[in-house]
Amino acid sequence: RKDEAMIHFMSLTKLPEDTEDLAVIIDKAGDFLIENEDIENATKLYFTATTQYPQIALFHNSLSYCYGILGEIEKAVKEAKLAVELDPDNYLYLTDLGWSLVEAEKLDEAEIVLEKAVSLSPPDYELARNNLEELRRRKK
């Protein structure tokens, strides 16, 4: 059954680029895999999505998240940077890039990115601020 689901999920990456809500559809499939702790298949799905639709920042950010879980920090940083290049003022992507940089022990670069994330995030979004505080604790 899991194999059948994966075949269906992977078929989503063959949808035409102009499919309405394409990013949302594929991301929901990826989220399902992540929630069910199937990180390897989520990684495959997002990797294929970034290959098919390289201009969609969400897929790069989600692939970065998967790589982070797998401990592949340099790959996580690379994909997070691609997401931010595609959508430079997205505070969510900046927050994720900042944390990937913290995990890669690139603390000075992480601080700059997280400061930007904090400046762009709404007042009720605490993750960027919390990550920046944690980074500053680590720098001491």
Q: Name the DSSP letter for residue 88.
A: T
Same domain for 64 and 115? no
Q: Comparing C-alpha atoms, which of 31, 84, 86 is closest to residue 53?
A: 86
Q: Report the distance separating Cα 1 and Cα 68, nearest Å.
A: 27
60 CB neighbour count, 10 Å cutoff: 26
Same domain for 74 and 127? no
11-51 per-position pLDDT tens digit: 999 999 999 999 999 999 999 999 999 999 999 999 999 99
Q: Name the DSSP letter for residue 37.
A: T
Contact 57, 83 (CB under 8 A): yes
Same domain for 68 and 30? yes
Same domain for 76 and 105? no
Q: E strands, 64-137, where?
A: none
Contact 45, 30 (CB under 8 A): yes
pLDDT at 2: 79
Contact 9, 36 (CB under 8 A): no
Residue at which a domain ends, from 57, 86, 115: 86
Same domain for 75 and 111? no
Domain span holding position 135:
88-140
- pTM value is 0.94
Q: Comparing C-alpha atoms, which of 79, 76, 58 is closest to residue 67?
A: 76
Reading the block at residue 132, the tokens are: 């920046």
Flag whether pLDDT at 1 surpasses 80.
no
Residue at which a domain ends, from 86, 102, 129: 86
Same domain for 130 and 112? yes
Query: How many domains is the chain partitioned into structurally?
Result: 2
pLDDT at 3: 84
Q: Report the distance separating Cα 80 and Cα 57, nearest Å.
A: 9
pLDDT range class, residue 116, cuts 50, 70, 90:
very high
Sequence-distant (6+) residues with CB within 8 A of 56 are 22, 23, 49, 50, 86
Same domain for 103 and 81? no
Q: What is the CATH number of the domain that holds 30?
A: 1.25.40.10
Same domain for 63 and 111? no
Same domain for 92 and 80? no
Same domain for 77 and 101? no
Residue at which a domain ends, from 86, 104, 129: 86
